[in-house]
Amino acid sequence: MLNFVRKGVSKLNDLLNSPLNETAYNLKWLELELSDWIISQERKMQIKGFEYYKDKQDILKYKRMAIGQDGELEEVKNLPNKIITDNQYKRLVNQKVNHLVGKPFTVDTKNEEYSNILNTYFNKKFFKLLKTVTKDSNNGGIGYLYPYYSDEGILKFKIFKPYEVKVYWKDDDHTEIDFFWRFYRKAVRYTGGSVDYVDHLELYTKDGIRYFIYKGGVLLYDKLKGEITHSYIKFTNSLGSEVVEEQYLNFDRIPLIPFKISDYEEPLLRRVKSLQDGINTITTVFTNNMLEDSRNTILIIMNYDGENLGEFRHNLSTYGAVKIRNTNEEKGGVDTLQIEVNAENYKAILEIFKKAIIQNGGGVDVTELRASGTPNQMNIQSMYYDIELDTNDTETEFQMAMEQLKWFIDFDINLKTNQNFFDMKVDFIFNRDMLQDETGIIDNLMKLKGTIADEDIIKQLPFGNAEKLIENMKKQKEEQKKEIEIDYTNTFTNKPILDQGSDE
């Protein structure tokens, strides 16, 4: 399975390795592809997903508007404009992430040695990485892990953000990668203290990585980095004190593992953006309406001793008082045009939006469960129906991603130990995190005792580590067996002999 010889050349390599007089044209093709992708709606929506998650939402641009003298809308700056962000989208993303990968997955394989080796790779650091890439897949429609070797020769996985990566697939179903690029901006500080930002493009093919700098719409070959292989490993002697070989290598496949939220690779925000914006608008408008009081609402002035209404507003806001002039012909005074703010109307619309964002985004609303007292398992499953449907699609895509990730781990095992586990079957069981009626589940499982094996019952328990519980159960049975054997031996081998000479 380990093959350091190039088996084929991708379409991109055909372009870049063509005769010299065609190279400029090929780079031009790449420049056009890059310029179109940078401003594409697909990438903009991915960036927007991350911004919305971090509370950088469109409501921050909200301005209070009114019809001006020319009949056009213009900004009103003398009224309160408090901006409220009620980030239900972030709550929805966190729900979906923790529902699928909130608990560590289980590695199920018949080969115990292989299982133990895999568990050394799937440590706490990896589970944290998996949660991050799952969050990326929700915000961007797809997340990426990039496998590489560190300077110490350790296989590691790095996250590439969805809005940095453009993948060219070999098939319409997006199952096999032909090549991809990573585009990112990096800050450079010069000796004079000034900071400049440089755009970099890294081009990944089966034959290695090419580095470019993107400036003014033109790709420039990065001479400092040039072209390298995917990674390299330093082999040491048995004492680990001397490097005896330094081997640069290319993986036998493109080093990128896509984690898709669904087969459509659609960002979650696309489904709920209008609802999230509606929630923010409702809360913002309601807050601003409530802030309008006698000093900044509509005033009806009668017989005012002055002509400048701006001066009137200034005196009112500064001193909280107004001078009114009374004459024999006309009595002065100030009235307000009251605008009633019906909080119930806002509350009703807000509830509609919040329920809609949960339903359209495939989330779960536990407020009804809290109000129902102690729900049974059927009620809980009903509440989790939408999020379970969405999670089924995501898990199907993640299972494929884990198979690809397994290949790179098998590559590393084979490279370092010469053991071949490429064809070993492994099931990755995602332990979904959801509310459960534990008492009801345990009661039903206990009724099955004697009908199915104890190990199968333990695997279905809603708490604890099943493997550890089974191991402890086996140890307990072994100890009980030994105790029975000891009792049996003491009973039948150490039986006291009756005194034959006794009259009794």
Q: Please tell me which of 117-121, 191-195, 379-383 the model is most confident about, judged by mean pLDDT.
A: 117-121
369 has a pLDDT exceeding 90: no
Higher pLDDT, residue 447 or 416: 416
Average pLDDT over residues 215-225: 87
Examine the pLDDT at 485 and tell me if it is beyond 90: no
CA angle 476, 482, 484 (to 5 degrees): 105
Structure tokens at 244: 């005896």
Q: Which residues touch 42 (CB under 8 Å, ≥6 apart)?
A: none
Cβ-based burial of 8 (10 A; exposed 0-12, middle 13-18, buried ≥19): exposed
Task: Return the percentage of the chain with pLDDT > 70, whole number.
Answer: 73
DSSP 191-205: TTS-EEEEEEEEEEE
- Name the pLDDT band for 160 (thresholds 50, 70, 90): very high
The yes-or-no verdict on residue 361 having pLDDT over 80 is yes
> What pLDDT is attached to residue 158?
97
**DSSP track, 308-333:** -HHHHHHHHHHHS---B---SS---E
pLDDT higher at 438 or 100:
100
> How much is the pLDDT for 448?
75
The model's pLDDT over 164-196, given as tens digits with 9 standing for 90+, comes to: 999 999 999 999 999 999 999 998 877 677 888
Q: What is the pTM of this model?
A: 0.79
Q: What is the mean pLDDT of the chain?
A: 82
pLDDT band of residue 321 (cuts 50, 70, 90) is: low
Q: What is the pLDDT of residue 49?
A: 98
The answer to whether residues 413 and 117 touch, using CB atoms and an 8 Å cutoff, is: yes
pLDDT number for residue 417: 92
- pLDDT for 3: 39
Query: What confidence category does residue 462 fall into, taking pLDDT thresholds of 50, 70 and 90?
Result: low
Confidence category of residue 7, pLDDT binned at 50, 70, 90:
very low
Exposure letters 469-482 (e unless 16+ CB within 10 A, then b): eeeeeeeeeeeeee
pLDDT of residue 355: 93
Per-residue pLDDT at 382 exceeds 90: no
Does the pLDDT value for residue 396 go beyond 80?
yes
Q: What is the mean pLDDT of residues 338-367?
A: 88
Query: How far is the first Cα of the chain from the last one, in angstroms, to the nearest whole number?
Result: 84
Average pLDDT over residues 149-161: 92
Residues 28-65: tens digit of each pLDDT: 889 999 999 999 999 999 999 999 999 999 999 999 88
Instruction: Give residue 6's pLDDT.
Output: 33
Q: In whole angstroms, what separates CA 237 from the centre of its chain? A: 41
C-alpha atoms less than 13 angstroms from C-alpha of 15 in its C-beta half-sphere: 14
**Comparison of pLDDT for 237 and 221, the residue scoring more:** 221
Nearest to 8 by CA among 263, 178, 242, 221: 178
Residue 237 has pLDDT above 60, yes or no: no
Name the 3-class secondary structure at 231. Answer: strand
Other beta carbons within 10 Å of 496? 5
Answer with the residue of higher pLDDT: 272 or 485.
Answer: 272
